[in-house]
Structure 1
Amino acid sequence: MRRQLIQPYLLTLGVALSLSACFNEPNYSNTPEIDFRTLYHYPLPAQQGVGRGKRDSVVITIGFKDGDGNLGIKLPISKQDSTAFAQNGGWGNYDIKTFRLINRQYVEFPQQVNKFLTFPDLTPDKPRGPIEGTLDFNQTFQYGTSFQLYPTKFQIRIRDESLNVSNVIETDTISLPYPR
């Protein structure tokens, strides 16, 4: 009788140990690493009202890996975090630069909307550890009454709460409207 009780226990213990042995925690650097995934754009129909004209919506998806899982920022941004960002380049935890093709050369086209970008804490109320996933960034481009389409690409980098800066990635090229 005792042997019959022990066998299911040992079988359950064996399965549990083998399943837990199958998971090895990733060994990522504490400096974030990103890669380009997709660049998608779709037209938004014109509606009535100011700022409601025809426009294109652009969604950029990047992949990320981080060893200590401290990506994102607690919102609203504290004075301490705001000061740290200001003293270290003036950008938030997401940096995107827009480049458009002019005379066969890509030239940076600074956009006010991209000056200070943040994304929320990706692991709120969870213990720190390796994380990976994707981030989507969405931006719209107005057609306006007078516009020109330019081939456009983006350069992106992120940083974590410790101000460790990731590698820089570049997206594919897409044609977008700019005012003349």
Structure 2
Amino acid sequence: MRRQLIQPYLFVFGIALTLSACFNEPNYSDTPEIEFKEVSPPYTIEAGTGIGKQKRDSVIITIGFKDGDGNLGNDVPVPKADSARYVSNGNWGNYKIRTFRLVNKKYEEVNLQENRILYFPDLTKGKPKGAIEGTLEFRQIYYYGNRFRRYPVKYQIQIRDRALNQSNVIETDTVTVAFPEN
């Protein structure tokens, strides 16, 4: 009879032990780490009416991230004090993307105004502090203009957290997109 009473308790204890082992929080650095996942082949958005009247190419860049204290992203819109802190520390937001275009067999950086200071939303808003991991997607649009030429491009990407810890820099694969001719 005693054996019958002990077995259910051992079974419940075993399940509890197994489940607790499944939920160990990862031990990531408080400095964000990123890795290149994918850059989508550009797809053309035809000209139309309303927003985005011009024909354009759209590219989606996907990166993976890990962060030990989960302080990635910001309130959007970004409070002025946070914006000033980012700008005064390197003149970029929490997402930095540099675009390089292949011209005459050499990559040249293209300074796109829309990529100057970028932010992504707070990834843990309302959640407790702790390690996080996941993916971020960034959409880049290239307008054709009246005359255009296609160029191979690649990107260098870096992120930083609210404590201004900067991740490693990654580089994407190359895709070909339209640029307006001058």
Interval of TM-score (by shorter of Structure 1 and Structure 2): over 0.9
Structure 1 residues 71-90: aligned runs within 5 Å: 71-90=72-91
> Post-superposition shift, 1:50?
7.6
1:56 is matched with which residue? Answer: 57
Distance in 1 between the 2:22 and 2:177 partners? 47
Partner amino acid for 1:155? Q
1:15 is matched with which residue? Answer: 15
Distance in 1 between the 2:130 and 2:51 partners? 46
2:143 is matched with which residue? Answer: 142
> Post-superposition shift, 1:115?
0.8
1:65 is matched with which residue? Answer: 66
Q: Runs (4+) of structure 1 moved beyond 3 Å? A: 1-6, 48-51
2:169 is matched with which residue? Answer: 168
> Post-superposition shift, 1:52?
1.4
Pairwise CA RMSD of aligned residues? Answer: 1.6
> Post-superposition shift, 1:27?
1.3
* 2:134 maps to 1:133: yes
State how many pairs are aligned: 180
2:34 is matched with which residue? Answer: 34
> Post-superposition shift, 1:2?
6.4
Partner amino acid for 1:104? K
Distance in 1 between the 2:50 and 2:120 partners? 30
TM-score scaled by structure 2?
0.92
> Post-superposition shift, 1:38?
0.5
Note the residue ranges of structure 2 that are not aligned, 5 or more in a row.
none
1:92 is matched with which residue? Answer: 93
Note the residue ranges of structure 1 that are not aligned, 5 or more in a row.
none
Q: Secondary structure at the match of 1:75?
A: coil
> Post-superposition shift, 1:80?
2.0
> Post-superposition shift, 1:79?
2.4
TM-score scaled by structure 1?
0.93
Deviations along 1:31-76, one digit per CA (max 9) or x if unpaired, are: 1010110011211122136841221110000000111111111222
Partner amino acid for 1:24? N
Distance in 2 between the 1:79 and 1:51 partners? 29
Q: Secondary structure at the match of 2:168?
A: coil
Q: Secondary structure at the match of 1:128?
A: coil
Indicate the percent of aligned positions where both proteins have the same amino acid: 61
